[in-house]
Amino acid sequence: MTERTTVCLITFRHPFNLESLVAPLDAGTYRLVVDEELIEGLSFTAYRKVATHLEIPAISVEAVRRQSLKVSSDEIASALRIDYPTTE
């Protein structure tokens, strides 16, 4: 199985909550790592997400140790929508 990893930075302007944590995380920029695997047998190239990890604390915080927290892509997207509401 062919796998790929994508790393991106996401920024929260306000403290935010995730289901797997007791306390909210601080505002800041975080590294988000998404692992995907190739879906074989298709006539085109496609990947499916197999894991999403958020590195904590924020990258602006000087830390001796960092943790990689397994999160849901949907939960991260929801937290970003709350942090950056759209106005219509």
Which residue in the block uniquely carries the two structure tokens 């499916």?
48
Residues 48-75: tens digit of each pLDDT:
999 999 999 999 888 888 899 999 999 9
Q: How high is the pLDDT of residue 87? A: 64
H helix and E strand count, the chain: 1, 4
pTM of this structure: 0.86
Residue 26 burial (10 A CB sphere; 0-12, 13-18, 19+):
middle
On the question of pLDDT at 24 being above 90, the answer is yes
Q: How high is the pLDDT of residue 43? A: 95
Q: How high is the pLDDT of residue 1? A: 66
Rounded CA separation 36/65 (Å): 26
Of 18, 13, 20, 33, the closest CA to residue 79 belongs to 18
On the question of pLDDT at 88 being above 60, the answer is no
Of 32, 22, 31, the closest CA to residue 63 belongs to 31
Q: How high is the pLDDT of residue 60? A: 87
